[in-house]
Structure 1
């Protein structure tokens, strides 16, 4: 999966085809006609309301695709961001942990295994907690003992 360039419409179309849901049910749930559904399938992006409805209908969290994009490609925040002086209370909920999917873990392990990044670079650039990275490495080396011995 390419998290850098997300074409949400085509991904929704694939999931809808996999689910085998009839177009009449989709139209009824989405409150639109077949032409509008096809337009959504061709759309590079959708409103959050439409994306939420698709997520419910197809029982798949399409928002997580964008979360993975942020984890991989968003620039890390300033180190001063966590300074007590500059910390401001937000009205929005603060999430304590990032969501690391199998794809993210595999991506990080691949960078490490191929020597593209060191452990320290992964920790610093992607802001992965050191203990989290080492847990992933331990799991991977347990599953594939010879694969990461040089990392």
Structure 2
């Protein structure tokens, strides 16, 4: 199961990064007014976010949130994962946008704008992957 879970987490990392990068590029372009700045921010965060996301997935894989011996219901777990990931992702985006644009206010605007869009997109991404059996030898909710 261990090799299978790594494969699954890598696939989730890649699919989320595609969705997340497109969202960042579009928001950065709109807020900065420059498609070049939007692309630079989006491309810069591909590496940082893939690394951060992979470690976030591994940490949540090892966390066993349970109540009275029962694994935390998937929707609640996905909401908790959404909030922890969004905090990490927003801080990363704000820093990168500030560095690339040279304006801390632009970094803050982009970071705050994507809080809502990314949380919605991430929640649906988690639900999609929860229903997928890719990388799972058998369906066991305790392992998710």
Note whether the superposition's TM-score is higher than 0.5.
no
Bigger fraction of residues in helix: 2
Q: Which has the higher contact order (CA 8 A, sep 6+)?
A: 2
TM-score by length of 2: 0.30
